[in-house]
Each structure stands twice: as C-alpha cells, then as structure tokens.
Chains A and B, each alone.
Chain A
Amino acid sequence: MESLIGLLVGAPLLGAAVLLCGGRRLDRAGHWLGTALAASSFVIGLLLFADMLGEETEQRAMHQHLFSWIPVNGFQADVAFQLDQLSMTFVLLITGVGTLIHLYSIGYMEHDERRRRFFGYLNLFLAAMLLLVLADNFLLLYVGWEGVGLASYLLIGFWQHKPSAATAAKKAFLVNRVGDVGLSIAIMIMFTTFGTFAFGPVFEATGETSEGKLTAIGLMLLLAACGKSAQVPLQSWLGDAMEGPTPVSALIHAATMVTAGVYLITRSGAIFNAAPDAQTVVVVVGAVTLLFGAFVGCAKDDIKKALAGSTMSQIGYMMLAAGLGPIGYAFAIMHLVTHGFFKAGLFLGAGSVMHGMNDEVDMRRYGGLRKYMPVTFVTFGLGYLAIIGFPGLSGFFSKDQIIEAAFAKGGTQGWILGSVTLLGAAITAYYMTRVMALTFFGEKRWSETGKDAVHPHESPKSMTIPMIVLAFGSVFAGGLFKWNESFVHWLEPVTQFEHGHSPLSATAVTSMTVVALVIGVGTAWLQYGRRPVPAVAPRGSLLTRAVRRDFLQDDLNHVALVKPGEYLTRGLVYVDHKLVDGVVNGTAATVGGASGRLRRVQNGFVRSYAVSMFGGAAVLVAATLLMRAV
C-alpha cells in the first residue's frame, strides 16, 4: 500500500505537466483530464484511508522512501513521504474538496479561452499541497510550501490582463515570501541544532535542546505560518487575492492552502510543546487575527472580500486552538476540516451568485435573490448556518470545542481567550447574517432593464452539484466527528490529546455560545434584514471607514515598509551607479584601452613578428639562465 503514496502526488503532477506542456491540442479535453487526475488522487486517498482504518491505531503511519535527493556527507535530504492520521486528514480534504472544485470550474470557466491552463495550475496546486502535507522532512515540506505559493500566484493573477489581478498576485507572492524566509531560517536553525530536518529525529531531539533555540525555531515557523495562513501581521494579501477566479478563492484561499500554516504548527507540535513562549505568541496571533478578520468581514460590501475576512477570522480560531497545545490541536484540525467544507461551499455559492449577476460582486446591488437561485440559496444558507455555529451543524461542534478549550487554558489567559472566542462567535454571526440578508433577502436592488440589466438565473449542474455535496459536509461532518469523539481519537496518536479543565461546564460554554450567536444574528437582522439597504454605501463613522480599508493595513505597510524600502533601493542604486559602475567601467575601459594599444603591435609585417619572436626567445633564454644564477 505504501507505494501508492507517491501516486497521490504523482497523479496531479502528471496532470499539470501534460496540461501545461501539451499545448492547444488539449484545449478540448484538458479540463476533463485535470478533473480525472484529481479524482484519481482522491480515490487513491480513499483506498489508503480504508487500509489505514484496518490497521492497529499505533501502526497506522505509513512511510515511503522514494529517492535520495541531496546525498552529501552530513547533509542527507530525502524525498520520502509519511502518511499518518494527520496527513491522511489533509489528503482527503485536499483531494476531496479539490476534485469538487475541479468539477465546478468546468462550468465556471467554460467561456475562458485559457481553461486548459487554469486546470493545469489547479493540478499543480494539488500536487504541491499534497507534497506539503505528505513530506516526512521539513526540506521537502518547504518544496511543497513554495510550490503552493507559486500555484497561488499563478491562479490569483490568472486574469493577468486585469491590472488589479496582476498586482494582487504580486502582493500575495511578496507577502508570502516574508513568511517563506521564516520557514527557511527555521530549517537552517534545525539543521545546525539537530543535524537533520527529518520529522522523526527532530521531534525526538526536542527534549535535549535548549528552550531558547526551540523558541527561535517556533517563532520562525510561526512567521511562515502567518504568511501562508494570512495571520496578522502578514494578512494583507488575502483580501486582494479574491481577484482570482472564484473557484480559486474557494480551493486555495479558503479551504486548503491557507490552512497550511495550521498544519505546520500542528505538525511541529513537539517543538511548540517544549517552547511555551512561542506557543503564547501563536495564541496571541490567533486571537488578534480572529477579531481582525471578523471586523473586516463586517465592513466589506464585496461578497468575496467579506468571505475573505471571515476566512482570516476562522483560521485565527484554528491558530488559537493550535497554540493551546495538546488540548487544542485536535480541535484546530477538526475546525479546519469542517471549515473546509462550509467555506468552500460559501465561496462556490458566491461564485454562483456572481455567475448569475454578470460578475457583480457588490452585495448592495444584490437583494432578494432567493427566488431566482433556489439551489444556491439553500446550499449557501446551510453553509451560513454551519459557519455561525447553528446548533447541530458542523461549525457548531468544532467551534464550540475551541471555545471550551480556550477557557480551559486556565487563569487570566483562559478567561481572556475564552471571551475573545465568544466575541468572535458573535461577530461571525453578525457579518454572515449581513451577507445573507444583503444577498438573498430584502428587495432587489438591481434591474432587469436598462444599462446594467441583469437576469439572475440558477447555475448549471456542474456548479450546483459540488455545492450540494459540500452542503452535506457542512451539515453532517461536525456531528460525525463529534460522535463518540471519533475525530479526537483518530488524531490522538499524532497530536496527543489532553482534556482541558475548563472553569466553566460544557453546558455553560455551549449556552453562552448560543447566546452570542443569537445576539449577532439579531443585531444584523435588525440592521440589514428589516430596513431597506441603500445601494450606495453610506459614508459611515471613522471606524467604519478604517475597517473598510482593512484597518489601514496597506497604508501601514506602505509607510513602514514600502517607503523605507524604496529609499534604501534608491540609495543602493545611487551607490551602484556611482561607485560600483565606476569601478567596473573603469576596469573595462582600462582593459579595452590596453587591448587597443596591444592590437597595434599586430601590424601585419612578418618582420616585426619575427623580431618579437626573437625578443621573446632572448628573454626566455635569459630568464632561464638567470633563474639558475639566482
């Protein structure tokens, strides 16, 4: 069975290679090929999953050593895979949601001339992401990490003719580079400390390593996670990344890639467990991002950007849970999986709405769409109920566990974190209700006649079926995981699990969560559901305006980073022109001048050649004699 692991990565990689190198011949069938390969990867994942379930709990992890990548004395880098319960969870999520989104894209990208290329990129993304979660060492993980970044760049900028998309792609890439530097530094510290970067030896050696080093590694890993998972302070790229086609937003910037940071933290649990300071920073980053994303989600009128804010916020939940240590890892991953379902569903729903509304994204120009797009309305609605944590649906179970674990952290920290998570839950309910109300309820703020005429309609089957499947996941996944604590037991061998000791009883936490939910939904309904919504956004308070601009994140980056960078560059360019070029050009001029002068010796007269030979011979003989004399 182990030999199948390589195929998980190989199938989409083959797809990417064929689709990107195959040329126009594949235009007609390329998307089916891409989808089939993604699906085959999913099937292989299911086979391996079935096999894994058949094994004893402790023997479930599988390894496959493919080849030695860089065999140098003292530096052994292998291409080897490790498939344990954590990786398996990710494999199923990535390939499952990935396949659905491939399917959805067939309809969504139908009229795009470059559809084949789009599917090539999607396949490339799947391959890189699978490599990331299957690698058995940090260096190979880094390869996948970079591959994911590349695929994300290519897909955000897929409509490169739009300057905004090109800029957004560049921005995402640059911000991610900052995080990548963190990961590479972490790997370097690991190598100097442990002499290896394979998971097993590194995690075993944490016991004998100084806490300072582990904290340094942990913080660098966190920096990497912040970049990929759009956590404060590297969050600024996610909103702009919505310039990419909607399936991309669903697959990469909601369900899978952005969770890579959570995977990294959870995978490196052994390091973080031994470095409490780093853990605290993880929790703080998670908590701050949770609220940041939630506020941003409240202020956006662009449906995809509102959802992007929500993504940031939900990943904040996961980060926070991962920072809690063994009491939280399992719940972080559980929320990650349920979030994968309902967020992908929500994005696909948003795409479906846009598809029917001539690619309009401003929610203030929607309204009353539930009658025109019933399937979208129902599936989006189920995703909505799941994300706000409506009792009984997926999000309820997973989020509730995180809130409970946050309280269980204990002490003042526990109370603060618990309150933050509760507040987050209320705000989540608020902004998601706002999205729901603006889009599907109220009166229609668009017209079927005139210049901007739109004719809302339900999307084709290839788009609605994935939405329906995901809606099922949104509804039932959480309950399934919670039933008998099956998910926690599944992950326990990898992430360990400790029961937190919450100062509040589980019932109390649950009821508080429900109260927060009701407050959030109620406020939003009063504000947007019952009153008519202006088609143009009101100016709003100072705070509203700041939040609309993502708390001035871009302005801050501009002043704090871009400007000094520009000055530095200008300074360096000046030095380069005056000093470096001066030296270089001076040398070149000297050599050129010498060349010109020496060239004149070559005058074409054989007599002067003979003289030069004679002179040379005389010098040679004299020098030889002189050497003996000295």
Chain B
Amino acid sequence: MSTTQSLHSLWTSAAAEPDKIPSPHIEYAQLSPTLIVLGAALVGILIEAFVPRRARYNAQVVLAIAGLASAFAAVIALALDGYGTTKAKIAAMGAIAVDGPALFLQGTILLVGVVAVFTFAERRLDPKKHGNHVDSFTPQAAATPGGEAEREAARAGFTTTEVFPLALFAIAGMLIFPAANDLLTLFIALEVFSLPLYILCALARRNRLMSQEAAVKYFLLGAFSSAFLLFGIALLYGYAGAVDYSSIARVVSNSEANVDPALAGTMGNDALLLIGGAMILVGMLFKVGAVPFHMWTPDVYQGAPTPVTGLMASATKVAGFGALLRLLYVVLPGLRWDWEPVMWGAAIITMLGGAIVAITQTDIKRMLAYSSIAHAGFMLAGVIATSEDGVSSVLFYLAAYSFVTLGAFAVVTLVRDAGGEATHLSKWAGLGRRSPLVAAVFAVFLLAFAGIPLTSGFTGKFAVFKAAAESGAGALVVIGVISSAIAAFFYIRVIVLMFFQEPKVDGPSVAVPSPMTITAITVGVAVTVVLGVAPQYFLDLAGQAGVFVR
C-alpha cells in the first residue's frame, strides 16, 4: 500500500470511525538527531518566555551547543550502527530516509551549526554600550531603525537571544531537507528552515535598514521560489498519483502496477512529469544559489548579520545540494536524459557567471557571495556525474566548502572600523602588515576557495571534476577549470591587497574576539588544512556514504 493510499484510508476511516485511527509508526531512535535539535529549539522558546533576561544569553548558548552536539553524537551513533550502509532504511512511514548521504550531510550540518552558534554568541567585537556586552544582533527587532524605541532597548541592555532558537529551528529544517523522502516533507522542511532564516537576516545591529531590506528581498523571492516548488509538486502528484520518492520513481520507470482510478486521466502524462520536475528543480536551484536564480544571494549575504551569512552560505548549501542529489538520483534517474542537458546549462552559467561577476566586486561580503555562486556551479558539475563517485565527491565538497565559508565570514566579522565591519575591499589594504595572523588565516581560506593544493578546496574540486570527467562530462570540466582560473584572480587579488600594499592611515583595526570566534576560525582552518593535506580518510567516509536508499 502506497503512502497516498494509506493517508487516504486514514482520512476516510478517521471520519467514519474516530476511535480506530491507526497510530503512525515512528522510528524515534533513527530520527533522533532531528528530534533533539527540534526539542532544544522548543526549550529555547520556553527559556525566552520564563528565564530572566540576564540569564538568557548563557542558557541559550549552552542549550544550543549542547543540543547540536548531542544531535551530532546521535548521528555518529547511527552511522556506527550501520544505518549509513547496510541498515539504511526509510523511516517515519516513508517520509524520511536514514541512509549514507543523509547521515553524512546531517553530520556536516550539525558541525557547521555548532561552529555557527559560536559566531552567533560572539559579543566582544564591539566595545560595551551602556555597560552591556553587544553582539551582532539588534537589541529589539521590532523597533524602528534609528528610532527612540531602539535607543531605549539599547540603553536597557536588551539582546535578541531569540536568534539561538531560531537558528536551531533552521538547522532542524536543514536536517530534514536532504533526508526528506517525499515531496511534502521536502516542502515542509524547506519552509521550516527558510522562515527562521528570513527573520535572522533582518536582525543586524548595524545597517539595520539594509538588513531589513535583505530580509524582505529574501522572503519575497523565497516565497516566489516556494511557489514554483509547490506547483511542481502538484504536477508530479498529478503525474504519479503519489508524493513519496520511490512511488514516483516506479511510475517514471513504468513499473507501477496499481493505478488509482481517480488519477487515471493524468497518470503517466509525460508533460506533467517534465514540467513538474523542472519546476522542482527551479525551487532547488534557488536554494543553492545557481544562476539565474542567484540574484538574491549578493544582496542578502551583504545585508544579513555576518554570522547569519556564514550559516546561510554553508549549511543552507549543504542541505540544498543534499535534497537536489536525492531528487535527481532517487526520483528522476529515469529522466536522466531530460534533465542532464538542462543541468549542464545551469552548471556552466553558474560557474562562469559567479566567477566573472565576482571580479568587479568591491565589497568583501558580496565577493564571497559571488564566490559561493561559482562554487555552487562546481558542485553542480559533480551532481551531473550521476555516479556513486559523483555523490560522494559532492558530499566531500560540501563538507570542505562549508567550513571554509564559515571561517571566512568569521574573519570578516573581526576587521572593523568605527562603522562596524569594514567590508569595503579598499579598507583591507595592508592588513597583512598590521595583523599578520588574521591576514594569514584569511589567506588560507582564500587559497582554499581558489582550490590551491594542500587546502580542502583543491581536494574537493579535484574530486568533483574527476567524477564529472569520468562520466563523460569532459567539456564541463574544462569550463570548470577555466572558471576556477578566473575565480583565482579575485581571491589572489585580496591576498595581494592584504600583503603587498601599504596600510591606509585611517584603516580598520582587527578586533580581539572572545574564544568563541577564535574556536570557530580555528576549526575552519584546521578542517581546511586537514582535508587538504590528509583527505583520504574523509574521502573514504564520503565514498562509503555515496548510496541512496530507495
């Protein structure tokens, strides 16, 4: 009995005989990572409601880190138990997959989440205001920017500790997204992680108008893309009469035996399948920031508080690519010849577009935004490989890339002048003379972005290009290498700027962060170097996790 039929009978029987509702079978143990994070988020809300303001910050930070860490431990336990390989299964009545890719991506998202929470919790970068520590977030989100209420809130020492539960909700959504095994769960997961991110984007303490503008843009365009996704889901339901991946795949490959009489008119209509599939792809490509659905990225990355940008740029990408991989490999493998050319096009313009436009950027956050677009293109090349190697190379790339990104944005928060973060590139001139350590760390991240050997960026790029080339996408690899060369220009330019130019007299200074940010940056550098110098263990890990459960 397919899920739809079971749901259908659930509804009808519920109406007829209220006391005979079968309780759904939920594998709590296998879903524990997500449940732990959701639970922690809910407790976070209770803390907001009942704990005195003074104690909230500490409580929230401890709760968030403990929640994410124990969820990570749960992922490890599941993986050690063999759920990534031999015991992979579909849980929660067909809604959520517990398999290699899901566990690998969930582990990555949770680690990235922990590091991101560290940057969220940083409150030593700016001097104290009115005797209170300040962080990257506005004291009171509802107050008009620059208004009296805002000043009042600042004077009273308010802080927006809601960011921690919001981040936890977003992370929980991201955990479900790549594991979702039916289209409705996929959509709900998307909304669960998008809505908190919209709010987080609006919470910057400085440049509040820009931050709010970014949030509104993100929200509007996100809603727009959700509409595409939802419409695509409807069309696919019309085509297959089901929303769970394996049923759709069976219909696509013409092996479905039972046809629902109510859907007999539309089922198997290829137009529905193609249009629906393409629209779902649109929704996915929007989330991973591929051209031409990328235009929100620079504006939102620039406007959002930098720690939030770091979380978005890393974890969202991991979740988005995970879901995209599962869709293409589990639901639409029979349609390979239809989606492959389209994805080729998307990959090419994403790689080239991101790299080319980044050249003329003058703001470091915008530059990193375009860089993230180019990297999405590189990963699409791995997605197109449609092989087990393709999956594992993208998994590795995601893990490598997310830590570099998070680290880079963490460094961006350190370089400050009177107006907050000094994100204009000209202000970074000569940073290497003033703060050699910070500049050197940033240089490591830039080299990793550029894919220079001995950094994780090189290993990741090598893996995806190798997978793409082996599956016959040689032309794509050539274009990828050319875009890498173009991209290297603007990464190296920042290094030149930092180390080979005279510092400006009124240049920014580097704030001394708390151990929180130091930990975040150290983890970023460590992962970057380890994955670059000794990647084999992690490549093997990603290799083992390259099979989707069907």
Chain A residues engaging chain B, CB cutoff 8 angstroms? 588, 591-592, 594-596, 598-599, 601-602, 604, 606, 609-610, 612-613, 615-617, 620-621, 623-625, 627-628
Stretch among B35-43, B353-361, B521-529 lining the A interface: B353-361
Q: A620-B342, A623-B341 are in contact. Are A592 and B360 (CB under 8 A)?
A: yes
Residues of B near A592 (CB, < 8 A) are: 359-360
B228/A602 in contact, CB under 8 A: no
Nearest residue, chain B, Cβ from A614: B224
B337/A625 in contact, CB under 8 A: no
A604 to B366, CA, bound (A): 13
Chain B residues engaging chain A, CB cutoff 8 angstroms? 216-217, 220-221, 224-225, 228, 270-271, 274-275, 277-279, 281-282, 286, 291-293, 295-296, 298-299, 337-339, 341-342, 345-346, 353, 356-361, 486, 489
B274/A625 in contact, CB under 8 A: yes
A610 to B216, CA, bound (A): 13
B279/A591 in contact, CB under 8 A: no
Q: A617-B282, A620-B342 are in contact. Are A628 and B221 (CB under 8 A)?
A: no
Nearest residue, chain B, Cβ from A613: B293
Q: A612-B295, A624-B275, A627-B337 are in contact. Are A596 and B270 (CB under 8 A)?
A: no
A588 to B493, CA, bound (A): 14
Q: 9 closest Cβ contacts across the A-B interface? A: A616-B292, A609-B295, A621-B278, A595-B360, A595-B359, A624-B278, A617-B282, A606-B217, A595-B356
A396 to chain B, nearest CB (A): 60
A35 to B328, CA, bound (A): 70
Q: A621-B275, A625-B275 are in contact. Are A613 and B341 (CB under 8 A)?
A: no
B269 to chain A, nearest CB (A): 12
B359/A613 in contact, CB under 8 A: no
Interface centre among A598, A617, A621 (most CB of B within 10 A): A617
A591/B295 in contact, CB under 8 A: no
A623 to chain B, nearest CB (A): 5
B293 to chain A, nearest CB (A): 5
Q: A598-B356, A606-B217, A627-B341 are in contact. Are A613 and B271 (CB under 8 A)?
A: no
A589 to chain B, nearest CB (A): 11
B254 to chain A, nearest CB (A): 15
Interface centre among B279, B281, B295, B353 (most CB of A within 10 A): B295
Residues of B near A598 (CB, < 8 A) are: 353, 356-357
Nearest residue, chain B, Cβ from A608: B295
B360/A596 in contact, CB under 8 A: yes
Q: A606-B216, A617-B228 are in contact. Are A595 and B281 (CB under 8 A)?
A: no
B411 to chain A, nearest CB (A): 25
B279/A617 in contact, CB under 8 A: yes
Q: A606-B221, A623-B341, A623-B345 are in contact. Are A628 and B274 (CB under 8 A)?
A: yes
Q: A624-B277, A624-B338, A624-B342 are in contact. Are A610 and B224 (CB under 8 A)?
A: yes
A194 to B216, CA, bound (A): 72
Residue of B220, B337, B346 near A610 (CB, 8 A) is B220
A608 to chain B, nearest CB (A): 8
Residues of B near A625 (CB, < 8 A) are: 271, 274-275, 278
A612 to B291, CA, bound (A): 10
Q: List 9 A-B contacts (CB under 8 A).
A: A591-B486, A604-B299, A609-B295, A613-B224, A613-B292, A617-B282, A621-B274, A623-B341, A624-B274
A588 to B282, CA, bound (A): 32
A408 to chain B, nearest CB (A): 59
B281/A599 in contact, CB under 8 A: no
B176 to chain A, nearest CB (A): 25
B342/A591 in contact, CB under 8 A: no
A604 to B303, CA, bound (A): 12
Nearest residue, chain A, Cβ from B275: A621
A613/B221 in contact, CB under 8 A: yes
Residue of A588, A596, A612 near B292 (CB, 8 A) is A612
A606 to B222, CA, bound (A): 11
A613 to B226, CA, bound (A): 12
A613 to B294, CA, bound (A): 8
B197 to chain A, nearest CB (A): 17
Nearest residue, chain B, Cβ from A616: B292
B338/A627 in contact, CB under 8 A: yes
B170 to chain A, nearest CB (A): 22
A248 to B299, CA, bound (A): 66
A616 to B221, CA, bound (A): 13
Residues of A near B357 (CB, < 8 A) are: 595, 598-599, 602
A595 to B338, CA, bound (A): 31
Known: A592-B360, A595-B357. 10 other contacts (CB 8 A): A592-B359, A599-B360, A602-B298, A606-B216, A609-B217, A609-B221, A617-B279, A625-B271, A627-B337, A627-B341
Q: A624-B342, A625-B271 are in contact. Are A609 and B356 (CB under 8 A)?
A: no
Residue of B225, B274, B356 near A594 (CB, 8 A) is B356
A609 to B298, CA, bound (A): 12
A613/B225 in contact, CB under 8 A: yes
B366 to chain A, nearest CB (A): 9
B216/A620 in contact, CB under 8 A: no
Residues of A near B296 (CB, < 8 A) are: 609
A598 to B353, CA, bound (A): 8
B281/A620 in contact, CB under 8 A: yes
A617 to B284, CA, bound (A): 11
Residues of B near A596 (CB, < 8 A) are: 360
Residues of B near A621 (CB, < 8 A) are: 274-275, 278-279
A616 to B270, CA, bound (A): 21
Nearest residue, chain A, Cβ from B216: A606
Q: A595-B356, A596-B360 are in contact. Are A627 and B220 (CB under 8 A)?
A: no
A615 to chain B, nearest CB (A): 7
A616/B293 in contact, CB under 8 A: yes
Residues of A near B295 (CB, < 8 A) are: 601-602, 609, 612-613
A606/B220 in contact, CB under 8 A: yes
A553 to chain B, nearest CB (A): 42
B270/A628 in contact, CB under 8 A: yes
A604 to B209, CA, bound (A): 14
A621 to B296, CA, bound (A): 21
Residues of A near B271 (CB, < 8 A) are: 625
Residues of B near A601 (CB, < 8 A) are: 295
Residues of A near B292 (CB, < 8 A) are: 612-613, 615-616
Interface centre among A598, A610, A624, A628 (most CB of B within 10 A): A624
Residues of A near B358 (CB, < 8 A) are: 595
A470 to B337, CA, bound (A): 84
A595 to B274, CA, bound (A): 34
Residues of B near A591 (CB, < 8 A) are: 356, 359, 486
Residue of B278, B299, B361 near A620 (CB, 8 A) is B278
A616 to B286, CA, bound (A): 10
A272 to chain B, nearest CB (A): 42
Residues of B near A616 (CB, < 8 A) are: 282, 291-293
B339/A624 in contact, CB under 8 A: yes
Nearest residue, chain B, Cβ from A620: B278
A597 to chain B, nearest CB (A): 10
